[in-house]
Structure 1
Amino acid sequence: MHNRVLLGALLAGSLLLVACERGGPAQEHASPETAAVAATAPDVEWRRHGEDAAERRFSSLADIDADNVAGLGLDWYFDYPTSRGLEATPLVIDGVIYTTGSWSMVFAHDAKTGELLWFHDPEVPRDWAVHLCCDVVNRGVAYREGRLYFGTLDGRLLALDAADGKKVWEVQTTDRDRPYSITGAPRIVDDKVIIGNGGSELGVRGYVSAYAAGSGELVWRFHTVPGDPAEGFESPAMERAADTWGGGEWWKIGGGGTVWDSMAYDPELNLLYVGVGNGAPWNRQIRSPDGGDNLYLSSIVALNPDDGSYVWHYQTTPGETWDYTATQHMILTDLDIDGERRRVIMQAPKNGFFYVLDRATGELLSAEPYAAVTWASHIDMDTGRPVENPDARYTQGLSGLQLPGPIGGHNWHPMSYSPQTGLVYIPKQDVPWVYASDEAFVYREGYWNTGTDNMPASKPDDPNVFAAVLGTIKGTIVAWDPVAAEPRWQVEHAGPWNGGMLSTAGNLLFQGNAEGRFAAYRADTGRQLWSFDAQTGIVAPPVTYRLDGKQYVAVVAGWGGALALVGGDALTAGPIPNRSRLLVFSLDGEQQLPPVDDKPLVFDPPPLAGDEAQVARGKQLYLTYCVYCHGDAAVSGGATPDLRALTPRRHEQWNAIVLGGLHWQNGMVGFGDELDKRQSDAIQQYVIERAHRAKLESAANAGAAGAGR
Structure 2
Amino acid sequence: MNTQSASQLFAGLALALMMPLAVATQVDEAAIIASKKDGSQWLSNGRTYEEQRFSPLDQITEQNADKLGLAWSLDLDNHRGLEATPLFVDGVLFASLSWSRAIAVDARTGKTLWSFDPQVARDKARDACCDAVNRGVALWNGKVFIGTLDGRLIALDAKTGKQVWSQQTTDISKPYTITGAPRVVKGKVIIGNGGAEYGVRGYFSAYDAETGKMAWRFYTVPGDPSKPYENPELVEAAKTWKGDQYWKFGGGGTAWDSMAYDPEMNLLYVGTGNGSPWNRELRSPGGGDNLYLSSILAINPETGRLAWHYQVTPGDSWDFTATQQITLATLEIAGKPRKVLMQAPKNGFFYVLDRQTGELLSAEKFGKVTWAEKVDLASGKPVEVPGSRYEKETIVMWPSPFGAHNWHSMSFNPQTGLVYFPYQEIPGVYRNEGKNFVKRNAFNTGAAFYDTTEIPREAVSGALVAWDPVKQKEAWRVPYTHYWNGGTLTTAGNLVFQGTADGDLIAYSADKGKRLWSFAAQTGIVAAPMTYSLDGEQYVALMAGWGGVAPLIGGDASLAPGVGNISRLLVFKLNGKAALPPLPEKVATAVTRIPGPVQASAADITAGKQLYGTYCTVCHGVGVVSGGLIPDLRKSDDARRAMFQQIVLDGVLRPLGMPSFKDSLKPADVQKIKDYVISQEYAAYLKSQEPAAAKATP
TM over 0.5: yes
Per the alignment, residue 684 of structure 2 pairs with 694
Question: Within 5 Å, which residues of 2 pair with 1:486-635?
Answer: 486-571=473-558, 573-574=560-561, 576-596=563-583, 597-599=585-587, 604=593, 606-611=595-600, 612-635=602-625
> How many angstroms does 1:701 deviate by?
5.4
Alignment pair present for 1:176 and 2:172? yes
Per the alignment, residue 5 of structure 1 pairs with none
Aligned pair count?
666
1:517–1:699 Cα change, 3 Å: farther
Per the alignment, residue 450 of structure 1 pairs with 445
Matched residue type, 2:134? N
Per the alignment, residue 432 of structure 1 pairs with 427
> How many angstroms does 1:700 deviate by?
4.2
1:43–1:562 Cα change, 3 Å: closer
Per the alignment, residue 63 of structure 2 pairs with 67
Give secondary structure in 1 for the equivalent of 2:323: coil
Alignment pair present for 1:21 and 2:3? yes
Residue deviations 1:245-290, cap 9 Å, x none? 0114111121000000000000000000000100000010111002
Distance (whole Å) between structure 2 residues aligned to residue 208 and residue 605 of structure 1: 52
Question: Within 5 Å, which residues of 2 pair with 1:373-452?
Answer: 373-399=369-395, 401-452=396-447
Per the alignment, residue 33 of structure 2 pairs with none
Distance (whole Å) between structure 1 residues aligned to residue 679 and residue 7 of structure 2: 55
1:703–1:54 Cα change, 3 Å: farther
Alignment pair present for 1:679 and 2:666? no
Per the alignment, residue 107 of structure 1 pairs with 103
Give secondary structure in 1 for the equivalent of 2:41: coil
> How many angstroms does 1:80 deviate by?
1.6
Per the alignment, residue 17 of structure 2 pairs with none
Distance (whole Å) between structure 1 residues aligned to residue 269 and residue 630 of structure 2: 35
> How many angstroms does 1:692 deviate by?
2.2
Per the alignment, residue 144 of structure 2 pairs with 148
632-641 or 160-169, larger mean C-alpha shift: 632-641
Question: Within 5 Å, which residues of 2 pair with 1:476-487?
Answer: 476-487=463-474
> How many angstroms does 1:706 deviate by?
13
Tell me, yes or no, if the aligned pair for 1:605 and 1:688 is still in contact at 8 Å. no
Matched residue type, 1:438? E
Matched residue type, 1:402? M
Tell me, yes or no, if the aligned pair for 1:91 and 1:98 is still in contact at 8 Å. yes
> How many angstroms does 1:472 deviate by?
3.2
> How many angstroms does 1:238 deviate by?
0.5
1:704–1:114 Cα change, 3 Å: farther
1:126–1:514 Cα change, 3 Å: same
Matched residue type, 2:502? E
Per the alignment, residue 3 of structure 1 pairs with none
Tell me, yes or no, if the aligned pair for 2:551 and 2:559 is still in contact at 8 Å. no
446-455 or 693-702, larger mean C-alpha shift: 693-702
> How many angstroms does 1:605 deviate by?
5.6
Distance (whole Å) between structure 1 residues aligned to residue 108 and residue 579 of structure 2: 17
Distance (whole Å) between structure 2 residues aligned to residue 239 and residue 488 of structure 1: 43
The match for 2:49 among 43, 46, 53 is 53
Tell me, yes or no, if the aligned pair for 1:178 and 1:446 is still in contact at 8 Å. no
The match for 2:188 among 180, 189, 192 is 192
Give secondary structure in 2 for the equivalent of 1:690: helix
1:70–1:229 Cα change, 3 Å: same
| TM norm structure 2 | 0.92
Task: Please list every run of 5 or more consecutive structure 1 residues that lacks an aligned counterpart in the other structure.
Answer: 1-18, 27-40, 460-465
> How many angstroms does 1:705 deviate by?
11
Per the alignment, residue 30 of structure 1 pairs with none
1:601–1:68 Cα change, 3 Å: farther
Distance (whole Å) between structure 2 residues aligned to residue 425 and residue 335 of structure 1: 16
Residue deviations 1:561-588, cap 9 Å, x none? 1111114212373453111111111123
Distance (whole Å) between structure 2 residues aligned to residue 134 and residue 98 of structure 1: 23
> How many angstroms does 1:653 deviate by?
2.0
> How many angstroms does 1:440 deviate by?
4.0
1:509–1:23 Cα change, 3 Å: farther
Give secondary structure in 1 for the equivalent of 2:103: strand
1:101–1:437 Cα change, 3 Å: same
Per the alignment, residue 259 of structure 2 pairs with 263
> How many angstroms does 1:160 deviate by?
0.3
Tell me, yes or no, if the aligned pair for 1:248 and 1:289 is still in contact at 8 Å. no
Residue deviations 1:181-231, cap 9 Å, x none? 100000010211000000001011101100000000000111111111110
Distance (whole Å) between structure 2 residues aligned to residue 439 and residue 87 of structure 1: 36
1:215–1:393 Cα change, 3 Å: same
Tell me, yes or no, if the aligned pair for 2:449 and 2:614 is still in contact at 8 Å. no
Distance (whole Å) between structure 2 residues aligned to residue 171 and residue 446 of structure 1: 25
Matched residue type, 1:409? A
Alignment pair present for 1:215 and 2:211? yes
Give secondary structure in 2 for the equivalent of 1:20: coil
Tell me, yes or no, if the aligned pair for 2:553 and 2:617 is still in contact at 8 Å. yes
Give secondary structure in 2 for the equivalent of 1:201: helix
Distance (whole Å) between structure 2 residues aligned to residue 599 and residue 561 of structure 1: 26
Tell me, yes or no, if the aligned pair for 2:352 and 2:469 is still in contact at 8 Å. yes
> How many angstroms does 1:696 deviate by?
3.3
> How many angstroms does 1:368 deviate by?
0.1
Give secondary structure in 2 for the equivalent of 1:22: coil
Compute the RMSD of aligned alpha carbons. 2.0
The match for 1:639 among 629, 639, 651 is 629
Residue deviations 1:67-97, cap 9 Å, x none? 1111211121122212111101100111010
> How many angstroms does 1:114 deviate by?
0.7
Distance (whole Å) between structure 1 residues aligned to residue 594 and residue 43 of structure 2: 51
Tell me, yes or no, if the aligned pair for 1:577 and 1:639 is still in contact at 8 Å. yes
Tell me, yes or no, if the aligned pair for 2:504 and 2:520 is still in contact at 8 Å. yes
Per the alignment, residue 34 of structure 1 pairs with none
Tell me, yes or no, if the aligned pair for 1:605 and 1:646 is still in contact at 8 Å. no
> How many angstroms does 1:609 deviate by?
3.2
Per the alignment, residue 95 of structure 1 pairs with 91
1:25–1:573 Cα change, 3 Å: farther
> How many angstroms does 1:607 deviate by?
3.3
Distance (whole Å) between structure 2 residues aligned to residue 565 and residue 577 of structure 1: 11
| TM norm structure 1 | 0.91
Tell me, yes or no, if the aligned pair for 2:554 and 2:628 is still in contact at 8 Å. no
Tell me, yes or no, if the aligned pair for 1:494 and 1:515 is still in contact at 8 Å. no
